[in-house]
Chains A and B, each alone.
Chain A
């Protein structure tokens, strides 16, 4: 079965009912707030806010973790690396030859790890609570982006979801032809590149055929109507307000705690 990237994983949750644009706004403003400063207070506030809002997604912590564990791992590795290499200030916590950790360096490491997660989560939340078709509708109708662009991107996204299946089939087909990934690491790399090229060829051919099919159905010329009207409701006000409030809380807390460290200055 194909992993269809263009279908959201949940139904009935509050966030799914919100207009994609309000979610986009909320995710955007929160992300900007975290990006502005490298400090652990603002990141921690945003991260706790995000975790508190998680129930609105209607996804269990376990399923969420299954989806985002690579990010968690990456954040942990990033934090560890920072703690190892950052400026060694404050009390020494661990000194084992080249592995020297101090209060200052561990603090910097935690800040980087929290910040990584805090930046990534809004995007993840947006993705799992938003149907790409609804997003395209909102972008086309509310933001008035050109429909050619929006709908082509939407169709491309659906094709991208099918690539996983294609990749698997190509792998089997190559193995059957004697081009499987046996042997040296170099041969494996060559095989991977070969299969990637094969996938690219398939993707282009498929996209070309799809473009013809879309054109045959009147796409691309003249004005169009939208069968699904993109609307705003009270939920959107709450979503946008929650995003703005979380961003404001993060900045306020960091400034109050004296950790605010504006990147641009």
Chain B
């Protein structure tokens, strides 16, 4: 094999299955699949059906017998993936956990270096790959200074410099804003058109990829392959559609049904207000937004929208009493403060959790204990609510958010959707009147999405105030209420949805 050949790779799974070490059941099994060189495949399935595991196996990073037990085989061009090092390139979901080096150019060169490509050739490839993904930044730009969409395109370029014949993408756009999604998708298409590489992409937002791929494969939840064929046929088949819908896959032309109707309640008296507010991420850092004014009445919803890096999250953290205002005020009405003082940033933790609840973008940041039930009881305990009172409340929450069967599981071992549900439930356990959520629907499947919207609508109808930082237009529409658009260092309200 010549170094750097871009010949597309054929991939075969032959009665393949994998059981992670220490788990009783197989994560995936009975997969029979042949992918022709140059084919573009969208891989779908319920969460937990083993899509990512299959992708890791194709990339040759699933590990050896110590990490798990393999059944059947996986072959790239007739050989095990480990023997075809560099022929498959994998891009993962989280932009931050796959960057190795500090500078853009070095990052792209890294894979080619590992394949022993001669240095002059490496730099040729670095420029070519950055060009392919449309990332026009200096080679010595710091990799931490890039936006999410840029980081994912960097990850793609870093893989392309290895000249892979098989491109494996594991939910590459799940954590990106709409602009980032388009950037990354277009970069992938451009690259494939030039290199003719084979593509396998896992993604539950089907619409992003449906027009790009020429084959859709659906893994069954209980193993094997449920459907396999051209996108129109697979996604048009009513039986497959209903299975996919039940599995929480976002199918084009379908939206998850919502249990509760949108809140029709007229907003009540004001709970929290911001006037002339400037916000900054750190005490000494620059202010990212200035002159923000807003009012949150009882029984209302507000969506804060705007591009990545515009300061939405910082504004939300400040409204939630977690960061101090740089200038101006955040003031809680007496009904919210209940004697704790008007400035939420001065409240003690135990006071805060009973008044304003915050749900962070990454649920893992908020997990503090070893089991789901301890996690749910943590807030009420630190607020010194008697067990007789929080016991039934926690039980009801677990029931409502389908966590009852997981009460004794470790929060870190839950699936993405379960983690999100738990992070919302933990905050609700102390009954705050104001709820602030940062990108609650990022990377969520349709099932969890519908559940969240239903739950939040219910809270608004009860008279609570819900503030969400979001890129998700469907979510904003479904939740209703006001929209605050953050742009160019300031924020202005746009028409209520």
Residues of A within 8 A of B (CB): 1-2, 4, 6-7, 131-133, 151, 154-155, 158, 161-162, 168-170, 172-183, 194, 198, 201-202, 205-206, 209-210, 212-229
If A1-B285, A154-B101, A180-B352 touch, whether A170 touches B365 (CB-CB below 8 Å) is: yes
Indicate if the CB atoms of A180 and B90 lie closer than 8 Å: no
Contact partners of A221 in chain B: CB under 8 A: 85
- Which B residues, 83 to 111, have Cβ-Cβ distances below 8 Å to chain A? 85-86, 89-90, 92, 94, 96-103, 106, 109-111
> Which residues on A sit within 8 Å (CB–CB) of B162?
217-218
Write the chain B residue with the least CB distance to A211: B61
Chain A positions within 8 Å of B371 at CB level: none
Which positions in B face A, CB cutoff 8 Å? 56, 59-61, 85-86, 89-90, 92, 94, 96-103, 106, 109-119, 122-123, 126, 142, 144, 158-159, 162, 281-282, 285, 317, 320, 322-323, 348-350, 352-353, 357-358, 360, 364-366, 368, 378-379, 382-383, 412, 426-427, 430
Residue of A at shortest CB range from B114?
A218
Contact partners of A224 in chain B: CB under 8 A: 113-116
Task: Looking at the assembled complex, report how far the CB atom of B154 sits from the nearest CB atom of chain A, in whole angstroms.
Answer: 12
Across-interface contacts of A220 in B (CB, < 8 A):
114
Which A residues are CB-close (under 8 A) to B364? 202, 205
In the complex formed, the residue of B with least CB distance to A212 is B61
Asked whether A7 lies within 8 Å of B116 as measured between CB atoms, the reply is no
Name B119's contact: one of A1, A132, A151, A226 (CB within 8 Å): A226
Cα A202 to Cα B320 in complex, Å, equals 24
Chain A residues with CB below 8 A from B322, complex form:
172, 175-176
Q: Nearest chain B CB to A231's CB is how many angstroms away? A: 12
Residue of A nearest to B118 (CB): A225
Indicate which residue in A4, A176, A212, A225 contacts B113 across the interface (CB closer than 8 Å): A225
The reply to whether A223 and B116 form a contact with Cβ atoms under 8 Å apart is: yes
**A213 CA to B118 CA, complexed, in Å:** 22
By a CB distance below 8 angstroms, the chain B residues around A7 are: 102, 142
A214 vs B102: C-alpha distance when bound (angstroms): 14
User: What B residues does A183 contact at CB under 8 A?
Assistant: 348
**How distant is the Cα of A22 from the Cα of B143 in the complex, in angstroms?**
27
Nearest residue, chain A, Cβ from B92: A213
List 6 additional A-B contacts (Cβ < 8 Å) besides A1-B285, A4-B102, A212-B92: A7-B102, A168-B282, A178-B349, A209-B98, A214-B100, A225-B112
Closest chain B residue, CB of each to CB of A191? B349
14 contacts between A and B (CB under 8 A): A7-B102, A132-B102, A154-B101, A172-B317, A174-B368, A176-B349, A177-B382, A178-B349, A179-B349, A206-B97, A212-B56, A216-B89, A217-B159, A219-B114
Q: How far is the CA of A162 from the CA of B95 in the complex (A)?
A: 14
Shortest distance between the CB of A125 and any CB in chain B (Å): 20
- Flag if B366 contacts A176 (CB, 8 Å): yes
